[in-house]
Structure 1
Amino acid sequence: MTRAEIQDALQLRDRKSFRELYLSPALSQELVEMTIPDKPNSRLQKYRLTSKGRQWVQKQ
């Protein structure tokens, strides 16, 4: 999913807050990963759950 798609799914509006409070922590905890890690600012960048992220979601 793109950042915008994730943000819409979570019903969050502010891009900066979303990145700081949700996306960056999820990336640092390796719950999600970038599909194009070499180009973090690419307009084609998407994110996907890692196996660790799937396990975390199932526990919730």
Structure 2
Amino acid sequence: MSGTEKGKARAEQAKGKAKEAIGRTVGNERMTAEGRAEQAKGNARHAKEEVKEDLKDTFRH
């Protein structure tokens, strides 16, 4: 996984987790949902990069 994309995925996941926690703390359901969505987006970005990396490894051999 490229360093840039890996960093973006981790940042998105962390931002989403924080947003979800804050939303829960203040009782804001919308913020909680947005946090979960950002985490899902970060997870999807991470999974995409993993697939790309696996394909590169497969075709190198």
Which TM-score applies when normalising by structure 2? 0.27
Q: Flag the structure with larger Rg.
A: 2
Relative to its length, the structure with more helix (as a share) is 2
